[in-house]
């Protein structure tokens, strides 16, 4: 995700310093004359706005701990990772006390959205901080909105992941049923997907099911990581999320089989092997 996003920042005319935990991933950006840094402290020292796109809450905290050793007061940190909403609020408050600014800005749209510069970004934080980040955000998004104060961006991402999980569950359940019923899967996907049941999942994941393509995209383990944050947030506000809990349980089966790196659409394969109400 981060590579294409950074490419759009360069195309937008911004000076860019890049760091990645896997140095080889920065080579395409180096060829476009981005400044490649060998360490995070240099990024903190040289940049007045720093954009993060990592995996977990712990990764964000670790990166920020290093970045803030050298960052100047007033530096704005924008986090595109999907992390715990509670942690996002804690990070905001901690950085604010230390003279920095923080916006939680998780993204949705997948790798294709990143490549096209068409992501949707949910921004949580103080209005002036979101406004300051917006020129860069607009280079790789088709819509970026402030949805509330600190942590609200992550809460909106939780709502997004609830909907994503439900759509994935519906798609895999419908097509596994159709498969066991002896129906033509391609025709099922075409007809059902063109009616009231149609969704982004039918349009984008349906072809992968037909091709039995479980190659890495958004992985089972990453989806379960996000669902963990959803369940944590739901408990904190006493919200019912039964479909998310079920989708997480079913994906856990795949993970237990050693298929955590498969794309989430492999849930179809797991459901085909299940019996009634199993």
Domain extent listing, the chain: 2-148, 155-272
Average pLDDT of the residues of the chain: 96
| Residue 196: predicted pLDDT | 95
| Residue 71: predicted pLDDT | 97
- Per the CB < 8 A criterion, the answer to whether 50 and 77 are in contact is yes
Q: Is 225 a catalytic residue?
A: no
Alpha carbon distance 152, 70 (integer Å): 28
Alpha carbon distance 141, 119 (integer Å): 4
CATH 3.20.10.10 assigned to 2-148: no
Q: Span 48-55, mean pLDDT?
A: 97
Please report, rounded to a whole number, the percentage of residues in the chain having pLDDT higher than 90: 93
Q: Span 245-272, mean pLDDT?
A: 96
Given the residues 25, 138, 157, 180, select the one marked as catalytic: 157
SS (H, E, C) the chain: CHHHHHHHHHHCCCCCEECCCCHHHHHHHHHCCCEECCCHHHHHHHCCEEEECCCCHHHHHHHHHHHHHHCCCCCEEEECCCCCHHHHHHHHHHHHHCCCEEEECCEECHHHHHHHCCEEEEEECCHHHHHHHHHHHCCCEEEEEEEECCCHHHHHHHHHHHHHHHHHHHHHHHHHHHHHCCCCHHHHHHHHHCCCCCCHHHHHCHHHHHCCCCCCCCEHHHHHHHHHHHHHHHHHHCCCCHHHHHHHHHHHHHHHCCCCCCEHHHHHHHHHCCCCCC
φ, ψ for residue 22, nearest 5 deg: -110, 95
Q: Is 256 buried (19+), middle (13-18) or exposed (0-12) by CB count in 10 A?
A: exposed
Of 46, 82, 50, give the one whose Cα is nearest residue 63: 50
Q: pLDDT tier at 110 (50, 70, 90 boundaries)? A: confident
Question: What fold does the segment set 155-272 form as a domain?
Answer: 1.10.1040
Q: pLDDT tier at 217 (50, 70, 90 boundaries)? A: confident
pLDDT at 112 over 90: no
Residue 145 to residues 103, 104, 152, 197, Cα–Cα distance (Å): 12, 11, 11, 28
pLDDT at 82 over 90: yes
Alpha carbon distance 235, 232 (integer Å): 5
pLDDT at 233 over 90: yes
Q: Span 149-157, mean pLDDT?
A: 98
263: β partners = 219
| Residue 80: predicted pLDDT | 98
Of 105, 243, 73, give the one whose Cα is nearest residue 171: 243
- pTM comes to 0.94
Alpha carbon distance 179, 24 (integer Å): 42
Residue 116 to residues 54, 220, 261, 273, Cα–Cα distance (Å): 20, 24, 24, 36
β 141-148/119-124 pair status: parallel
Q: Do domains 2-148 and 155-272 have the same CATH topology?
A: no
């Amino acid at each position: 995700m981060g590579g294409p996003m950074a490419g759009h920042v360069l195309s937008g005319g911004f000076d860019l310093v890049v760091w990645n935990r896997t140095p080889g991933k920065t080579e395409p950006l180096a060829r476009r004359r981005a400044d490649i840094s060998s360490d995070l402290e240099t990024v903190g020292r040289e940049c007045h706005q720093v954009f993060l796109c990592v995996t977990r809450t712990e990764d964000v905290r670790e990166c920020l701990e290093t970045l803030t050793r050298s960052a100047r007061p007033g530096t704005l940190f924008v986090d595109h990772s999907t992390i715990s909403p509670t942690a996002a609020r804690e990070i905001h408050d901690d950085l604010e006390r230390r003279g920095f600014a923080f916006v939680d800005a998780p993204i949705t749209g997948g790798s294709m959205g990143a490549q096209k510069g068409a992501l949707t970004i949910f921004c949580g934080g103080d209005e002036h901080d979101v406004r300051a980040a917006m020129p860069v955000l607009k280079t790789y998004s088709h819509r970026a909105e402030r949805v509330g104060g600190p942590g609200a961006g992550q809460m909106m991402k939780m709502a997004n992941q609830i909907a994503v999980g439900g759509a994935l569950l519906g798609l895999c359940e419908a097509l596994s049923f159709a498969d066991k019923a002896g129906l033509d899967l391609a025709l099922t996907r075409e007809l059902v997907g063109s009616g009231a049941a149609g969704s982004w999942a039918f349009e984008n994941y349906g072809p992968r099911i037909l091709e039995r393509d479980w190659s890495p995209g958004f992985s089972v383990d990453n989806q379960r990581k996000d669902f963990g944050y959803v369940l944590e947030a739901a408990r904190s506000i006493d919200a019912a999320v039964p479909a998310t809990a079920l989708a997480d349980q079913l994906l856990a089966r795949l993970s237990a089989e050693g298929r955590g790196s498969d794309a989430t659409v492999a849930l179809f394969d797991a459901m085909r092997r299940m019996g009634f109400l199993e």
